[in-house]
Structure 1
Amino acid sequence: MRIFDISRKLVNGMPVWPGDTAFQYEVSWPMEESGSVNVGRLELSTHTGTHVDAPFHFDNGGKRIYELDLNLYIGPARVIDLPPEIESIGVKELKDIDLDGVTRVLFRTLAWKNGTVFPEKIPHIEPELAPYLAKKGIRLIGLDVPSVDPIDSKELPAHHSLNANGIHILESLILDEIAPGEYELIALPLPLVDGDGSPVRAILRQW
C-alpha cells in the first residue's frame, strides 16, 4: 500500500485568501516555562490550506461541519487530469470520461503553479456541471485550487449549485505528483460544532 499526502503544509507566511486570517503558529508555553513540555498556539481561518467547505460557509441556513456525514470524506476517489490552461470545468471537459460508479472525483489542473503566492485566477467549476455529476452519483469533488468559483466571485454560483445537488467540496489539494486513476481518499474535517469549514489532512491510498 502506498500513501500520498495531498495536503498543503501549514506554515507561517503561507498564502491565504486575500483578507482572511493569516496562519500563525507559535510555542506559547515553552518547556523553559512549563518545566516539562512545549505547547503551541494556532491562529488560522477555517479555510486555511487544504480544507472542506460546509454549506453554512455560503448559506446561513446550511449545515455546519459537525453535521456532515463523515462517510463523504473516506472512500474510493478518482483523480482526473485536466489541462492547466482551461478556464473552467464543465460538462464538455468530462463528457468523454466514464464516471459510472464513481462517488468522489478530484480534478488535477496544476493551475496553481506557485504555491507560495495566492493565485489571481483559477479554473472554476461551471454551475451546470453539478447536476451532471449528481446524475452520475458523485457526492464530493476536490480541486487543486482554492475555490470552485472564480476568485472574484461574490455570488458563488458553483458553491450553490453543488450544494443544491448534494455534492460536497474539498479545496486546495496538492496533486502535482499524483497520477490519474483510482485511490482511496481520507480527508476528515475537525469536529467543529459551528464550523463553516475545516482544514483537513488529506491523503490518498493505493494498493
Structure 2
Amino acid sequence: MQILDLSHVLTNGMPVYPQDPPFILEEIVNFENHSYSLSILKTGLHAGTHIDAPYHFHSSGLKINQINLKDLMGTARIIDVEKEVKAEDLPSLENMDILIIRTSWSNKWGKKEYFKDNPYLSLEAAEIISKSQIKGVGIDGPSVDPPGEITIHQKLLSNGRWIVENLKNLDLIKSPLVEIYFIPLALEGEASPVRAFAKIK
C-alpha cells in the first residue's frame, strides 16, 4: 500500500488567494544561538491545501473542530473535468463519501494564472451534491467558485458540506475510487490547513 500526499507544502512566499494575508513562518530561536529551534506562525486559515467548514459562510454552521473526524475520510470518487462541473458530469453519488474534482489545475500552482479563470462547480451540480449523502467536495484548484464569486460556497456550506481546495498529485491516482483522508487542525474557526492523503493499493 502506498500513501500519496495530496497537500502543498506550507512555506514562506507560497501563493495565497488574492487579498488573503501571506503565510509567514518565522524561526525566532535557532541553533546558532540556542540548542533548539522555535518558530511562530502567522497565516490566513485558507492558505495552501485547506478545508472550509460550514461556518465559513454561515453563523450557525459547524466550525472545523466540530466536524467529526470520521466525516473527513472515506471512499472518494474522482471525476475529470477541464472547466465547469455540470450536472451531467456528476456520477451516481451513492456508495461514496467524498467527491474529488480533478482538473490538473494544480500544475499551475505558483504561477500568476493559478488564481485566474479557474475550474469550478456549476450551481446545478452544487445543488445535486447538497441533496446527496456526500460529506464534502475536494478540488485541485483554488476554489469551487469562479473567481470573485461565492455562490457555490454558500450552497454547499449552507447544506453542511465541507470543501477542500488546492489539492495536488491527483494525476497520480489511477483508480476512480480511492480512500482519502483530510486531517485539519482542531481549530475553533471557519477553515484550517489540512494534511490530505490517499491510500493507494
Q: TM-score, normalised by structure 2?
A: 0.90
The answer as to whether partners of 1:53 and 1:196 remain within 8 angstroms in 2 is yes
Number of equivalences: 198
1:39 lines up with 2:38 in the alignment: yes
1:90 lines up with 2:89 in the alignment: no
SS of alignment partner, residue 171 of structure 2: coil
1:61 lines up with 2:60 in the alignment: yes
Match of 1:150 among 123, 146, 152: 146
The answer as to whether partners of 1:143 and 1:172 remain within 8 angstroms in 2 is yes
The answer as to whether partners of 2:173 and 2:200 remain within 8 angstroms in 1 is no
| Residue deviations 1:142-201 (CA, integer Å, cap 9, x gap) | 000111111211xx11112112333221111012322242211111110112x1100001
Q: TM-score, normalised by structure 1?
A: 0.88
Which consecutive unaligned segments of at least 5 residues does structure 2 have?
none
The answer as to whether partners of 2:78 and 2:102 remain within 8 angstroms in 1 is yes
Whole-Å separation in 2 of the counterparts to 1:135 and 1:19? 32
Whole-Å separation in 2 of the counterparts to 1:121 and 1:65? 28
Q: What residue is the counterpart of 2:15 in the other structure?
A: 15
| Residue deviations 1:34-73 (CA, integer Å, cap 9, x gap) | 3x21112222110010000012212233221111121121
Matches within 5 A, 1:90-129: 90-94=86-90, 97-117=91-111, 118-129=114-125
Whole-Å separation in 2 of the counterparts to 1:102 and 1:63? 22
Match of 2:158 among 150, 155, 164: 164
The answer as to whether partners of 2:54 and 2:161 remain within 8 angstroms in 1 is no
| Residue deviations 1:65-109 (CA, integer Å, cap 9, x gap) | 111121121222122222x2x2x2121222xx3432111111101
Which consecutive unaligned segments of at least 5 residues does structure 1 have?
none
| Residue deviations 1:104-128 (CA, integer Å, cap 9, x gap) | 1111011344211342111111222
SS of alignment partner, residue 137 of structure 1: coil
